[in-house]
Structure 1
Amino acid sequence: MAQVTTLWETVRGRWPRARIAALVAAINTVAFSALVAEQATEWSSRWETAALLWWVGGLTVVIGAVLIIITIPLCALVASWWIRIIITLLLSAVQSSVRTALLLPATTLERDTHGGLTIWVTGMSGYLLAIATGFLVAALFEREDRERALRRDEEARTREAVSELEREELRVRKIVADRLHGTVQHRLVVVAGGLDQVADRLMAGDDDPAQWAPTLRDWALDLDELREEHVRSLSHSLFPSGADLGTYEAIRALLDRLPPTVATTVDLGPTMKELIRTLRAPLPLQDRLVVIYTTEEAVTNAIKHGGADRVTVRVEALKRGTEWVLDVRIDDNGTGPESEDPPLSGLARHRARAESRGGSLRLERNDEGGGRLHLMLPFVPESPRNDDEILQKQEKFDE
């Protein structure tokens, strides 16, 4: 009994829906047995009708039950459906032969040369139909299980993407809050205090107001530096410059802020150029932000950790069936990663964000020995936008 239980647990582990297949096959076998038992009176005039019904029906049920008990576990232990079909055919043929040998003496068909073949074909057809129906129902349940599992995985990825966005939002909020309450607030307090002091001196009738001109000019320069270095960078943290225009414009704006000692290039593939020509900004804004922030992290790492002084960003759109995939490669001439599959630190959250949208992110070495960040991101091209809107945003961006 323990061995039977262990075998059944193994079967359930290999084929979770084996029980459903066995149950449906058993119900069909009983129905088949009732059908052939009712027709048994046409086969023989030797036996009492009741005895013939019980003998034919009961024998068909027993042989079918043995067939199911043997066939379903064996088929569950193999993964290939072709092997399952072969096993079912062979065992059904054997069981139909046993059934024919036991039923033939009780029928008048034994005088007919085709009598045994008729009984065998009837049994073979009935048993195959019963087990095949069980397999079909089990396969449908398995497909439903797979679809449900896919939905659960998709929901889990969606929840993870939402959580990642929430964590990213909190991270950006913290950065903005720290810099506003730290550097920006401190320097504004200093300037405001100085201006109050100058105002008090001037109101008190200072003999030489011109002496404050250099100080006021220094404070003006300080405010301009504060705007350029801190306010602009904070604005970029909240929403990258040029992101509302397109991916190329945003990446170009990102690279233009690098020191002049770093040579930068943005190459667009022919398919991407055609999409931009026809659709202006084909990449949806959400996907655009993923590309921009990932590129920014890759460029920062290349310069800071790899010592690179040349960065090239290549962007191409690939058509795979009905799906579009953005192919972004950020190459540098720095030291590159030390291993083929290096661990990701700051890039980990960018990879999670790409994977949550069905994409991928890999850090590897390029042909020159430097670093390469390879981003693949599925997207649905957006419809063209109004030309007036494009021109207005382009003018604002150029300013």
Structure 2
Amino acid sequence: MGAVLSAGGRLFVGVVVGAATAVAELAFLGWAALVVLIELTRGRRPTAIERPARHLVEVQRWRIAAFLPGGGAVDALDDYTERRAVAYLAIRWAVGLLGGFVALLFLYGLGTGAVWARDLFVGRSSALLVGAQVVGGLVLLFLAVQGFLGVAALDRWLAGRLLVPGDRARYERRISELAASRAGVVAAVDAERRRIERDLHDGVQQRLVALGLLLGQARRGTDRDRSDELVRQAHDEAREILAELRDVAWRAYPADLDNLGLAEALSRVAERGGVPVSVDCPVDRLPSAVETAAYFVVSEAVTNAAKHAPDSRVTVTVGRIEQGVRVTVTDDGPGGADPSGGGLSGLARRAAALDGSLIVDSPPGGPTTVTAVLPCA
């Protein structure tokens, strides 16, 4: 019973707030008509109404999602255009006023019921008359409840009908997203190739030159002890070259990801992170592309924490969600990470290529949280 009363109260508040905002929408439409008329006479595009229209629509989205039953889906309609927002407001005010009329009838019915109860209490009405009034009141209450539910359903339908883009707009947006993600992937691949080339040139290649010089000196030397020392140095250099080559290969693509899975690969990242890292990855094997993206999200975030917040602690959490996986990396450093930086923007492009998303929350003072949502086919 308490849940029913709570839901009814939210519905009543939602309809009343919708009626109040309908008045604001009517005022906006009158002002917008005047602005459009003035701007068109001056030969300019009327852009001044776009921002207020979006603000009013955002209020309606919040109201429907917060108070009306089944309104949670409306909260996801965030890709509407300003033109659709104005069209929605041009019709929604009528629904709001209708809801206000239903609310007034409901309040009038409650007031009339209170008067009937008072008359019965003071003996002004007979029990038979009050019984007939109660039956009529229950019928009116049923009609009022149906009116509230009908207004709520109409509100939801109108938002879904006018704020959702058409098929053509969705296709065009999807094509733009695919083109952008493809360009981003190409840019990320090029950047990774340049990084590998730089690592090989500045690290491995220089060590190979040094190794060649040591072996050359050992070959030309006449002092046996000196030659043995040079060979020992060459052997140490070869071991360091091998370790650096493995490091370059690991950063390009870790073999453990294919052989042992994501959890083991992330444990290696924690060991090599340079800062204390705790990993919670209870998921089973994922599609290869998803595992790769999740791995690089964690690797880049841990690397950034070690570079910009060397005294921080990092927490990595990988968990299943509906039709996908969520990767969260949090450090208690000073914050201020730039999402448009090369590393994080590359991760965002990698996630977008899988129809996923990457969110960076790093307020000044910390903490920094990098969250990637990656769908799994």
Task: Give the structure-1-normalised TM-score.
Answer: 0.51
1:162 aligns to what? 182
Instruction: Give CA deviations for 1:134-189 in whole Å, capped at 9, x if unaligned.
Output: xxxxxxx9999711221222222122221111111111111222232333222212
2:253 aligns to what? 239
1:295 has 2:291 as partner: no
Instruction: Return closer, same or farther for 1:142/1:249 CA change in 2, 3 Å cut-off.
Output: same
2:220 aligns to what? 200
**AA matched with 1:170:** D
Instruction: Return closer, same or farther for 1:249/1:81 CA change in 2, 3 Å cut-off.
Output: farther
**AA matched with 2:319:** E
The answer as to whether partners of 2:356 and 2:372 remain within 8 angstroms in 1 is: no
* Deviation (angstroms), 1:221: 1.0
1:78 has 2:93 as partner: no
The answer as to whether partners of 1:359 and 1:376 remain within 8 angstroms in 2 is: yes
1:256 has 2:271 as partner: yes
* Deviation (angstroms), 1:352: 3.3
The answer as to whether partners of 2:278 and 2:314 remain within 8 angstroms in 1 is: yes
The answer as to whether partners of 1:334 and 1:371 remain within 8 angstroms in 2 is: yes
> Which stretch of the first structure deviates more once superposed, 172-181 or 369-378?
369-378
Instruction: Return closer, same or farther for 1:163/1:155 CA change in 2, 3 Å cut-off.
Output: same
Superposition pairs for residues 57-206 of structure 1, below 5 Å?
78-80=90-92, 146-201=166-221, 206=222
1:268 has 2:281 as partner: yes
* Deviation (angstroms), 1:363: 2.2
1:363 aligns to what? 361
Instruction: Return closer, same or farther for 1:142/1:375 CA change in 2, 3 Å cut-off.
Output: closer
The answer as to whether partners of 1:303 and 1:334 remain within 8 angstroms in 2 is: no
The answer as to whether partners of 2:270 and 2:276 remain within 8 angstroms in 1 is: no
Instruction: Return closer, same or farther for 1:194/1:157 CA change in 2, 3 Å cut-off.
Output: same
Q: Secondary structure at the match of 1:334?
A: coil
The answer as to whether partners of 2:325 and 2:374 remain within 8 angstroms in 1 is: yes
- Among 366, 376, 384, the alignment partner of 2:373 is 376
The 2-side partners of 1:302 and 1:314 are apart by 15
The answer as to whether partners of 2:185 and 2:349 remain within 8 angstroms in 1 is: no
Instruction: Return closer, same or farther for 1:308/1:285 CA change in 2, 3 Å cut-off.
Output: farther
* Deviation (angstroms), 1:193: 2.8
**AA matched with 2:278:** T
Instruction: Return closer, same or farther for 1:250/1:79 CA change in 2, 3 Å cut-off.
Output: farther
Gaps in structure 2 of 5+ consecutive residues: 1-36, 51-86, 99-160
**AA matched with 1:284:** P
Q: Secondary structure at the match of 1:243?
A: helix
* Deviation (angstroms), 1:192: 1.4
* Deviation (angstroms), 1:305: 0.9
Q: Secondary structure at the match of 1:258?
A: coil
The answer as to whether partners of 2:273 and 2:306 remain within 8 angstroms in 1 is: no
- Among 216, 241, 257, the alignment partner of 1:226 is 241
2:230 aligns to what? 215
1:105 aligns to what? none
**AA matched with 1:377:** L
**AA matched with 2:304:** N
Task: Give the structure-2-normalised TM-score.
Answer: 0.53
The answer as to whether partners of 1:331 and 1:373 remain within 8 angstroms in 2 is: yes
- Among 347, 359, 373, the alignment partner of 2:344 is 347
The answer as to whether partners of 1:312 and 1:330 remain within 8 angstroms in 2 is: yes
**AA matched with 2:277:** T
The 2-side partners of 1:194 and 1:353 are apart by 43
The answer as to whether partners of 2:329 and 2:369 remain within 8 angstroms in 1 is: yes
Give the superposed CA RMSD. 4.0
The answer as to whether partners of 1:354 and 1:361 remain within 8 angstroms in 2 is: no
